[in-house]
Amino acid sequence: MLYNADCIEILKTLKPNSIDLIFADPPYFLSNGGKSIHSGKIVSVNKGDWDDKSKYDNHLQFTKEWLQQSFRVLKYGGSIWISGTVHNIFDVKNYLDEIGFKIINIIVWHKSDPPPLIYKNKFKFSYELIIWAKKDGKHTFNYKDMFAVEGEEMQDVWTIPAVGISEKKFGYHPTQKPEALLERIIKACSNEGDIVLDPFSGSGTTCFVAKKLNRKYIGIEKNKEYFDISKRRIDSI
């Protein structure tokens, strides 16, 4: 199921304790007029109004509210994974604690192909953080599946390259996550037939991978252009 709508409004309509797994790639609020390098060219870091905190009445209240609604719809023992950087991840962590989530791990997604620095006055940025938390209860963790990836216990630093060209053939999204990242998360914390929710579904990576792995999915995306990309992508399976 895909919704072209505001995530908080849709979350309010979902049944409590009904979702097995949530992956959220929320606004990082890093769009501040800075510069980066993409494909060898200097580009703006601005992603859109949805990533600009000045476009929100209260960006912290927005963060707290979608997390509260996520807690409400998540099953007891259900997992939530939230990606971020220094721009948003500490606020997310504080609200998780306040709302009643229990943090299990903080994953470091190490990007094996980060862009070069424009200004040579700091270390190159090569990672994002992903908080894994749960609602009270026994959570799903498919330990054997994760052990099988490299033949040993998986650590909390994952080296996965950024999104390849083949994953963008249905359209461009500035913060698209690689399918390999979502495949690992979904396999780790859900089983076939479970319901996977993405409240900021963007170009549909979470739902696309969930469908391939025989999970049910709910994706919510406010931007019509990205919603259309995700629909074409998911319908291609």
Model confidence band, residue 199 (pLDDT cutoffs 50, 70, 90): very high
Q: Is 183 exposed, middle or buried (0-12, 13-18, 19+ CB in 10 A)?
A: middle
Give the residue-averaged pLDDT of 154-164.
94
The structural domain count of the chain equals 1
- pLDDT score at 49: 77
Q: Would you state the pLDDT for residue 97? A: 98
Residue 39: CB partners within 8 Å, gap ≥ 6? none
Categorise residue 223: left if φ over 0, alpha if ψ from -120 to 50, beta otherwise. Answer: beta
Contact 75, 17 (CB under 8 A): yes
Print the domain residue range for 70: 2-235
Considering the chain, what percentage of its residues have pLDDT values greater than 70?
Answer: 94
The pLDDT value recorded for residue 182 is 98
Tokens of 161: 């390259």
Report how far residue 227's alpha carbon sits from residue 83's, in angstroms, rounded to the nearest whole number: 20
Residue 188's CATH number: 3.40.50.150
With a cut of 90, say whether residue 228 has pLDDT above it. Answer: yes
pLDDT at 148 over 70: yes
The pairing of strands 216-220 and 35-38 is: unpaired
Cβ atoms of 196 and 206 closer than 8 Å: yes
- Collapsing DSSP to helix, strand or coil, 110 comes out as strand
Show Cβ contacts of residue 60 under 8 Å, excluding neighbours closer than 6 positions. 91
Question: Using one digit for the tens of pLDDT, what is the confidence trace for 38-52?
Answer: 656 666 666 777 788
Query: DSSP state, 163?
Result: -
**SS3 state at 177:** coil
pLDDT at 116: 86
> What are 112-131's pLDDT values in tens digits?
888 888 888 989 889 999 99
Average pLDDT over residues 171-183: 94
In the block, tokens 């510069």 appear at 35
Q: What is the mean pLDDT of residues 55-63?
A: 91
Model confidence at 185, pLDDT cuts 50, 70, 90, reads very high
Amino acid 52: pLDDT? 81
pLDDT of the residue at 197: 98
Q: What is the pLDDT of residues 87-115, one digit of tens each?
A: 999 999 999 999 999 999 999 999 988 88
| Half-sphere exposure at residue 64, Cβ-oriented, CA atoms within 13 angstroms | 9
Percent of the chain scoring above 90 in pLDDT? 78
Q: How many Cα atoms within 13 Å fall on the side-chain side of residue 182?
A: 29
- Structure confidence at residue 35 as a pLDDT band (50, 70, 90): low
pLDDT for res 161? 93
